[in-house]
Amino acid sequence: MVQCSDNQLDLSFAALADATRRGVLQRLGRADASITDLAGTFRMTLTGMKKHVGVLERAGLVETRKTGRVRTCTLGPRGMATEAAWIDDCRRLWEARFDALDTIVADLKARETQDEQQ
């Protein structure tokens, strides 16, 4: 399994648990945006969007920079490689377990067929 700080995974998955925050990441994947632009896109107050962006910032998924009165958001440089690797490890573990279960079921069916033929 990938070794990753449980705290970092908790922050990332908590941030990704909300549909608005996932939408913000998708939007920022196309282009940087101000918090005002994001609030308009998602039809919410500036305060509400600032809270969402704050959660994404704490998770390291988004960075903001202030120029004058405008706070611009960009995708964080860290990306989600660690989270993707953790998910991939879990997927491989479950695939191995399901493959083992398939083998057991196939063996049981083969025995059942042999018993019926005898």
Token pair in block for residue 14 = 């908590």
Q: What is the DSSP letter of 22?
A: H
> Comparing C-alpha atoms, which of 20, 27, 18, 35 is closest to residue 73?
35
Backbone phi, psi, residue 42, to 5°: -100, 10
Q: Is residue 100 situated within a structural domain?
A: no
Q: Are 72 and 32 in contact (CB under 8 A)?
A: yes
Q: Is residue 31 situated within a structural domain?
A: yes
Q: Is residue 38 situated within a structural domain?
A: yes
**81 or 22, greater pLDDT:** 22
> Is the model's pLDDT at 10 over the cut of 70?
yes
Host domain of residue 21: 6-75
**111 or 19, greater pLDDT:** 19
Structural domains counted in the chain? 1
Residues 17-32 have a mean pLDDT of 97
Q: Are 12 and 80 in contact (CB under 8 A)?
A: yes
Q: Is residue 29 situated within a structural domain?
A: yes
CATH number of the domain at 49, please: 1.10.10.10
Average pLDDT over all residues of the chain: 92
41 CB contacts (<8 Å, ≥6 apart)?
27, 33
Q: Is residue 99 situated within a structural domain?
A: no
> Is the model's pLDDT at 4 over the cut of 90?
no
Q: Is residue 67 situated within a structural domain?
A: yes
